[in-house]
Amino acid sequence: MSALMQTYARLPVTFSHGEGVYLYDTDGGRYLDGISGIGVNALGHAHPAVTSAIREQADKLVHSSNLYRIAAQEQLAAALTQVAEMDNCFFGNSGAEANEAAIKLARLYGHKRGIKKPAIVVLEGAFHGRTLATLSATGNRKIQAGFEPLVTGFIRAPRNDVEALRQIAANNPDVVAFLAEPIQGESGVRMLDPQYLQAARQICTQQDWLFMLDEVQTGNGRTGTYFAYQGLDLVPDVITTAKGLGNGVPIGACLARGAAASVLGAGQHGSTFGGNPLACAAGLAVLKTIAEDQLCANAIAMGQLITDTLRADSGIGDQIIEIRGKGLMLGIELPRDCGELVQRGLEAGLLINVAGGNTIRLLPPLVIDESEARDLALGVAELIRNFN
């Protein structure tokens, strides 16, 4: 560890391998994975379809660069835009890169309309990444501290406040876009009201703003539809996604439709590794498996089972303020900070995460079955019951 920059407060465990919803450490211990690499391993660990796709592609070609056409990239773009009802997409390596692409796209969109200092409306409690631009768009002063000066061009608004959006529209002629997560994961799995998002979509249309959704965490089947917005009766102009798209192979995507799809031209954005053959082969395997194995429906069913099991436990009812989320993106809010439960969970063979200080965040693999989902819920209930 001494050769590593100490940017992570790592837990005292090293995993050697995984299978399905379980991880195994170097001492032979088994852990039920309730966080799936922070929403990344949507198909669990060592999924045969992804493993086969990676092996087959690695035997042929790992990287060639975007100086040339990439067949797997074109295939993944076609499949992803079809499921998203978008026109085209740009591939990077992460959610932060996907959001950077969206931010640059929005700024160029504004400049083409004659706006010299284009601004993007973002929300309190948001998390969009850790690059300087996405950090500046993020609504968390704790992770911004020490990295000033931040990138300008962002106007922050309270979440679920339509009137605040209307006031911004009335008083800020330089706004060109609205960027939000349908469910704010890092701040404690906080859902934006569907009516708020529909109103925001309407305001964007009226003002010629781009309506942009950060689906880095909510996308790829996590909430029970391929993208969360597909359950909200609206369509964005720009979508970003990553995490579950590659099941652990780094890949991110920025998708666009309509006017937004024609903003970026040759030479205006790029990524050395983005959308290389290996990453796109993994992405194609993920998309195919989510569809063929009906994992969106499974996310809804298993998320409901976890929620019902927790709510049925009379021994923890007074210790839970609220259970939030959709599908297999769940937050269990407790009355006080509960970060220590992560270590306790590890000791009990259960991998969980805490977001927003006092909320247990669950992002289990979409392949989780009834028995495993019940075990996860019962394990979390036991942690809460013994939390003094």
**Token pair for 296:** 């969106």
Q: What is the rounded (10 degree) CA torsion for 306, 310, 311, 317?
A: -160
**Token pair for 252:** 């991110």
Residues 6+ apart with CB under 8 A from 317: 311
Catalytic residue among 154, 211, 214, 326: 214
The interaxial angle of helices 194-207 and 162-171, nearest 10 deg, is 10
Amino acid 202 reads Q
Does residue 273 have an active-site annotation? no
Work out the angle at residue 96's Cα, subtended by the Cα atoms of residues 91 and 99, and round it to the nearest 5 degrees. Answer: 70
Catalytic residue among 91, 211, 243, 375: 243
Helix, strand, coil percentages for the chain (3-state, nearest 5):
40, 20, 40
By C-alpha distance, which of 14, 9, 18 is closest to 36? Answer: 18
Residue 141: CA atoms inside 13 Å, Cβ hemisphere, count? 1
Does residue 214 have an active-site annotation? yes
Report yes or no: 39 and 327 within 8 Å, Cβ to Cβ: no
Does residue 154 have an active-site annotation? no
Query: Measured between alpha carbons, how far is 249 from 243 in angstroms, rounded to an integer?
Result: 9
Catalytic residue among 127, 154, 178, 211: 127
By C-alpha distance, which of 95, 121, 120, 94 is closest to 107? Answer: 120
Active site residues: 127, 214, 243
